[in-house]
Structure 1
């Protein structure tokens, strides 16, 4: 299994959603718990993982506790996470999602 670093677009969305003191923990959480460790995504690179990481971020709405819940959902079945984020039916929908800046 290769470990893919977070993409610049994932880091951008983290910065838009979370306050500065939470950004590093959020990035680490996504990297360690919502990346190549997900079933069938072992060989995905950072860009291929964006769909799943963006889904967790979108569904969290900038709330760290909610992010933990969404990552837990992804670990059980990431298809449910994609449905929750409305990314399930269009493989490029996640690329169009950009949250408004909160900080």
Structure 2
């Protein structure tokens, strides 16, 4: 399990009610953790791009979280493409700014 960055925690609490936020945070730490995705030496900030992609897709439809988790565990690069974060290394930061403000 790997911890969430402050920005990821902020997004989770912005997008979800407190009870759901705890569950979503736990899912991100376990299902989208550094160990489970083969990103063992990545920091919480380096994991933001992947975790933000999961959060973005999760908010787009009722089955968004389930679909995002399937993608991230199959190949997280596909997840980045579907979320629109694959071509621009800063796209996830731009999305964060649009949601956080």
TM-score over 0.5 (shorter chain): yes
* Structure possessing the higher relative contact order (Cα contacts under 8 Å, 6 or more residues apart): 1
Contact 1:56 1:81 in 2 (8 A): yes
CA displacement at 1:66 relative to structure 2 = 2.2
TM-score in terms of structure 2 length: 0.86
Q: Secondary structure at the match of 1:21?
A: helix
Paired residues in the alignment total 98
Residue 38 of structure 1 is matched in structure 2 by 37
Residue 84 of structure 2 is matched in structure 1 by 86
- For structure 2, the residue ranges without an aligned partner over 5 or more in a row are none
- Measured on the aligned residues, the alpha-carbon RMSD in Å equals 1.9
Moved over 6 A (4+): none
TM-score in terms of structure 1 length: 0.84
